[in-house]
Copies of this chain bind each other. A is one copy, B any other.
């Protein structure tokens, strides 16, 4: 299996001014070719550091992808470092890139300065892939087996994300043209409702029985739950898929409806499918989650196909006036109670005329009250067959509690609608 390393060059990432998003895109792209990324490194605009780091990575990897440090200004010195690393005899002009520089600056109504034209000059030791989205060319340095004990390729990409990602298809084509690749085959299983530790305990016998060439990864997330990724490297893709699917079949009875999808997905995306495919509509009444449930639902394009709307009744009068929560329910049980959660769900369902509704009332913190400790939430779900409530307790900070409350509400709704359908 081919190995790769990704190096981002530039002080702005090192000092934490910007987050490096290029590396994860590049890694996923390489992964789709079955190339394993073994290291990601961020270094500053320091010539010696750039040379020694890239030289080191080329020793142990087939492919090294460097991004950044190609701007026109003085502090960008990656190109000189690459010239030295690759033993270039000098610089030559790349006509194609120069034409692009002229076109881009003209389109921006800018004068063409020497420092701009210098961007089209490249070390004579590299091949050039034109960068149509920016002024800095994409450089490809191919090192013969003698240099590092194996054929190695170094790609230099601009750091600007849309230029770097724009270059990826050309990079992948170049790699496929020069390397014999064994693919990777994997499936993702989305689960919600079990903590990572409980999940791994539950499936331990199944996990230990996996063949040696099959790898399981746990990828936990506050909002999507624990994502399981089952991978096989190399071999025949169809055969590998068949073997993975057999294992997933054996996994299903162990996890039951804790599994909500068999591909990369989210609770809100699955709810949209569930509702839209059956022409069902949804409304939401939020208190402690303060709009996060509606926000998550509406991050999915096409949410308007089933999501009618929501009421965030943060103040008690809004609960009573807009959602018609009886003040007796509040005075007798408190705002954070099963009765209020139920009344909120029924209230917003009445108000909007939706088929289903979900509601939350709880204490995200800081601080709880005499009845309920911090992190307590009551969730109400209401539909054609009636209303149910559930309570959970989490022990995170305010923001994480809000996220968990919202995610668990989506999961509760999902299970509630499914149980209606499967009846």
Binding site for B on A (CB under 8 A): 11-21, 23-28, 31, 37-44, 46, 49, 71-75, 103-104, 107-111, 113, 115-116, 133, 135, 160, 162, 166, 195-198, 200-201, 207, 216-221, 227, 229, 283-284, 286, 289-295, 297-299, 301, 303-304, 307-315, 317-318, 321-322, 351-353, 365-366, 375, 392-400, 402
Out of B26, B312, B353, name the residue touching A312 (CB < 8 Å).
B312
Q: Check if B398 sits within 8 Å of A299, measured CB to CB.
A: yes
| Residues of chain B contacted by A399 (CB below 8 angstroms) | 162, 299
User: In the bound complex, what is the Cα–Cα distance between A113 and B221 (angstroms)?
Assistant: 21
From B162, B366, B393, contact of A301 by CB (8 A) = B366
CB distance B28 to A38 under 8 Å?
A: no
**Pairs A–B under 8 Å by Cβ, sample size 22:** A13-B40, A16-B26, A17-B24, A17-B219, A19-B21, A73-B200, A107-B395, A110-B195, A110-B197, A116-B197, A284-B312, A290-B297, A290-B303, A298-B402, A299-B398, A301-B366, A304-B314, A309-B312, A310-B311, A315-B352, A318-B351, A321-B351
**Supplied contacts A17-B227, A321-B352, 17 more A-B pairs, CB within 8 Å:** A14-B37, A19-B20, A19-B24, A38-B43, A38-B44, A39-B43, A40-B42, A72-B200, A103-B395, A110-B195, A113-B201, A286-B294, A301-B365, A301-B366, A307-B315, A309-B318, A311-B312
> Does B71 lie within 8 Å of A218, measured CB to CB?
yes
Shortest beta-carbon distance from A357 to chain B in Å: 12
Closest 10 A-B residue pairs measured CB to CB? A290-B298, A291-B294, A16-B27, A291-B291, A16-B28, A16-B24, A40-B42, A309-B318, A291-B295, A308-B315
Q: Which residues of B contact A107 (CB under 8 A)?
A: 375, 393-395
Given contacts A71-B196, A201-B113, contact A16 B43 (CB under 8 A): no
- The reply to whether B17 and A20 form a contact with Cβ atoms under 8 Å apart is no
Given contacts A18-B24, A311-B311, contact A38 B31 (CB under 8 A): no
With contact pairs A12-B217, A17-B218, A107-B394 given, residues A304 and B315 touching in the complex (Cβ less than 8 Å)? yes
Residue from the list B23, B46, B166 in contact with A16, Cβ < 8 A: B23
The DSSP consensus for interface residues of chain A is: mixed
Query: Are the CB atoms of B108 and A393 closer together than 8 Å?
Result: yes
A314 touches B298 (CB 8 A): yes
Give the CA-CA distance A39 to B312 in the complex, in Å: 44
Q: Nearest chain B CB to A323's CB is how many angstroms away? A: 9
Judging by beta carbons under 8 Å apart, are B314 and A309 in contact? yes
Minimum CB–CB distance for A391 against chain B, Å: 10
Which residues from chain B contact A133 at a C-beta distance below 8 Å? 396-397
Decide yes or no: A308 and B318 within 8 Å by CB, A74-B200, A162-B400 being known contacts.
yes
- The quantity of this chain's copies bound in the complex is 2
Contact across chains for B301 and A290 when beta carbons are under 8 A apart: no
Greatest chain B CB density within 10 A among A17, A218, A219 is at A17
Chain B residues, CB < 8 A from A398: 299, 301
Closest residue to A364 on the B side, CB-wise?
A: B298
A310 to B400, CA, bound (A): 21
In angstroms, Cα B41 to Cα A166, docked, is: 24
A292 to nearest B CB, angstroms? 5
Report chain B residues within 8 Å CB of A115: 197, 200-201
Inter-chain contacts of A73 with B (CB < 8 A): 196-197, 200, 218
Residue among A37, A73, A135 having the largest count of chain B Cβ atoms under 10 Å: A73
Residue in B14, B113, B218 whose beta carbon sits within 8 Å of that of A198 in the complex:
B113
Contacts of A394 in B (CB 8 A): 107-108
Closest to A38 in B: B44
Q: A162–B396 contact, CB under 8 A?
A: yes
Question: In the assembled complex, which residues on chain B have CB atoms less than 8 Å from the CB atom of A44?
Answer: 38
Bound Cα distance A351, B312 (Å):
13
Q: With both chains docked as a complex, state the minimum distance between the C-beta of A376 and any C-beta of chain B, in angstroms.
A: 10
